[in-house]
Amino acid sequence: MSLAGDLLDRLAEIGADPPGITREAFGRGENAAMALMTETARGLGLDCATDAGANLAMRWRGSDPSLPPILIGSHLDSVVQGGNFDGAAGVVAGLAAIAALKAEGFRPRASIEVLALRCEEAVWFGLGLIGSRSLLGRLPPGALDLPHARGGRSLGQCIAECGGDPARLGAPLRDPRGIGAYLELHIEQAPQLIEAGQPVAICLANPGNLRHPHIRIHGEDAHTGLPHRFRRDAAMAGAELALALERLWRDEEAAGRPMAVTIGRFHTPAERHAMTVVPGEFELSLDLRAYDAAHLASLEAKLQGLVGAVAAARRVEIDLGPRSSAAPGAMDATIQAELAAAATARGLAPPRLNSPGSHDANNFAAAGVPTGMLLIRNEGGSHNPHESMELHDLLAAIDILGLWITQRTG
């Protein structure tokens, strides 16, 4: 079996959590995956180091230390009972490409680093892309105090326990101006390549996001027979807000402004809800996504308007709670052209597509690093046990990556 296939099988064993995969950030799953990558990288003769954010860098030293390094990265954590390939395929691809180039006798002039970035998934702290935020000095104020979803340890404690130094995370750990390029391989998260019948795509852009993980609506508990005019129904207010956001989404898409609305949590408090009580409390989460910073800002303003209108109409209070955001990530045009040329040389004609997901690549692009992404065909969606990337599609992407590396650093 190929190195890539073997590593993915071993990662599946590490994260096994039927019916899916769980590699908890800063926990057993992510730590064991980091250890596996370290073992593999050292077997390939790479230098391994952990930075102050507890990210893992695996370096193939180039012959010319004056040249800025090329970074290839992604993450190893997963959502709870997700799939095996989201994130992990990108780290595996970087190591597999280096193994193939070494076997061919290639020696890069610039150093190549494969990054395994910590905690990309927002499920663990209500904040995503933590590894790349740490690396590039983009953690928001108060982030180190955020509690882990399992056990409540603070982010700062988790980083320290995994070999990092949270006291150093106020400034970039790497000067973005000293990075030659960042490239990320990732499974597609909408079946665009299934639809196109192609194994890989060149990414045009990733959306930024605005997130409110703990929105709370406060109304008034009441008897189920209470007439409508007296009600302050928090659940109905939640439903009205959700439908208003759906209408906003449709209107924006119809106007040619792509975006997405996701409400992942939507419920009355489990300890209090009952069939014969008008609920006075309701909770939900919200993720808004768009591909342009100005569009995202306009959506945030429209959200405020919708919240005010629903609160007034339903006579409730709506507390949006904590807020986090990630900048949109437009991919570098030069890297897109280089990847297209490499794909053509391999007999492929990959389409150019937007990714529906935010990725660590967003932070590198926002920091001014020339950034590119390859998307890999994946049936079954993402963040669920049904992710279904075929190994031959991953190998096609690795082949393009390897050729791009030789053209960039040879």
Question: What is the tens place of the pLDDT at every residue in 290-348?
Answer: 999 999 999 999 999 999 999 999 999 999 999 989 889 999 999 999 999 999 999 99
186 and 236 co-located in one domain: no
Q: What is the reported pLDDT for 252? A: 98
Say if CB 131 and CB 75 are below 8 A apart.
yes
Buried/exposed code over 294-330 (b: 16+ C-beta within 10 A; e: otherwise): ebbeebeebbeebbeebbeebebebeeeeebbbbbbb
275 and 298 co-located in one domain: yes
Q: Average pLDDT, stretch 51-65? A: 98
302 and 347 co-located in one domain: no
Last residue of a domain, one of 326, 346, 369: 326
105 phi-psi bin (left φ>0, alpha ψ -120 to 50, beta other): left
115 and 220 co-located in one domain: no
The Cα–Cα gap between 17 and 31 comes to 16
The Cα–Cα gap between 3 and 93 comes to 9
174 and 281 co-located in one domain: no
Tokens (6 digits) for 165: 């130094």
Of 310, 325, 212, 221, the residue nearest 266 (C-alpha): 212
What pTM was estimated for this model as a whole? 0.89
223 and 184 co-located in one domain: no
Q: What CATH number is attached to the domain comprising 271?
A: 3.30.70.360
Q: How far is CA 332 from the centre of its chain?
A: 19
Domain tally, the chain: 2
320 and 364 co-located in one domain: no
236 and 339 co-located in one domain: no
The pLDDT confidence band at residue 355, using thresholds 50, 70 and 90, is very high
Q: What CATH number is attached to the domain comprising 389?
A: 3.40.630.10
Task: Note the pLDDT tens digit of each residue in 146-167.
Answer: 999 999 999 999 999 999 999 9
5-9, 258-262, 269-273, 400-404: which range is least confident on average?
269-273
The Cα–Cα gap between 391 and 265 comes to 34
Per the listing, tokens 């959200």 go with 303
Last residue of a domain, one of 276, 298, 326: 326
Last residue of a domain, one of 292, 326, 360: 326
Q: What is the reported pLDDT for 272? A: 86
150 and 160 co-located in one domain: yes
CA-CA-CA-CA dihedral for 403, 406, 407, 410, to nearest 10: -170
**Rg of the Cα atoms in the chain:** 22
Q: Average pLDDT, stretch 10-24? A: 97
Task: Note the pLDDT tens digit of each residue in 207-248.
Answer: 999 999 999 999 999 999 999 999 999 999 999 999 999 999
The pLDDT confidence band at residue 410, using thresholds 50, 70 and 90, is confident
Say if CB 214 and CB 285 are below 8 A apart.
yes
On average, the pLDDT of the chain sits at 96
178 and 219 co-located in one domain: no
215 and 201 co-located in one domain: no
Domain of residue 288 covers: 209-326
114 and 218 co-located in one domain: no
